[in-house]
């Protein structure tokens, strides 16, 4: 046990951050799936993060986090409007991305499929 504590003590903050990010990679959060389902269920509609948060039943900061991720992976179109960005689901032609496949695979276990 002392050896494990010593190893953890010797790790730098960047080592701990890298380890934490590696552990999270590939996992899908329940709220992430809820935001995904909300967006996919309203194709063609422009929604703000507040709209998405309300419809998905999550906090606005959670909606912002996951809409940013969906936008980064090409699942959303973004209109840079004032006072808030608006997002719209993009119908993907062809093979879905690995990110989209991973979320879709998690929908059934979460009871959202």
Q: Can you read off the two tokens belonging to residue 79?
A: 């209109």
Q: Taking all residues of the chain, what is their mean pLDDT, rounded to a whole number? A: 82
In a domain, 4, yes or no: no
The residue range of the domain holding 60 is: 29-110
In a domain, 14, yes or no: no
Residue 18 has pLDDT above 70, yes or no: no
Q: Which residue has the tokens 């032609």?
A: 93
Which has more confidence, 113 or 9? Answer: 113
Q: What is the mean pLDDT of residues 15-40?
A: 73
Residue 82: give its domain's CATH number: 1.10.10.10
In a domain, 6, yes or no: no
- Enter the pTM of the model: 0.74
In a domain, 13, yes or no: no
Residue-wise pLDDT tens digits, 57-85: 999 999 999 999 999 999 999 999 999 99
Closest CA to 79 of 46, 35, 41: 46
In a domain, 17, yes or no: no
Domains held by the chain: number: 1
In a domain, 18, yes or no: no
The full DSSP string for 8-62 is HHH--HHHHHHHHHHHHTT---HHHHHHHHHHHTSTT--B-HHHHHHHHTS-HHH
In a domain, 3, yes or no: no
């Amino acid at each position: 046990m002392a050896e494990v504590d010593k190893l953890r003590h010797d790790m730098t903050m960047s080592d701990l951050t890298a380890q934490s990010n590696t552990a999270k990679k590939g996992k899908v959060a329940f709220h992430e799936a809820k935001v995904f389902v909300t967006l996919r269920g309203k194709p063609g509609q422009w929604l703000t993060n507040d709209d998405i948060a309300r419809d998905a039943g999550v906090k606005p900061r959670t909606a912002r986090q996951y809409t940013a991720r969906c936008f980064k992976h090409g699942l959303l179109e973004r209109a840079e409007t004032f006072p808030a960005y608006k997002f719209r689901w993009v119908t993907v032609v062809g093979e879905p991305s690995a990110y989209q496949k991973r979320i879709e695979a998690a929908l059934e276990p979460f009871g959202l499929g």
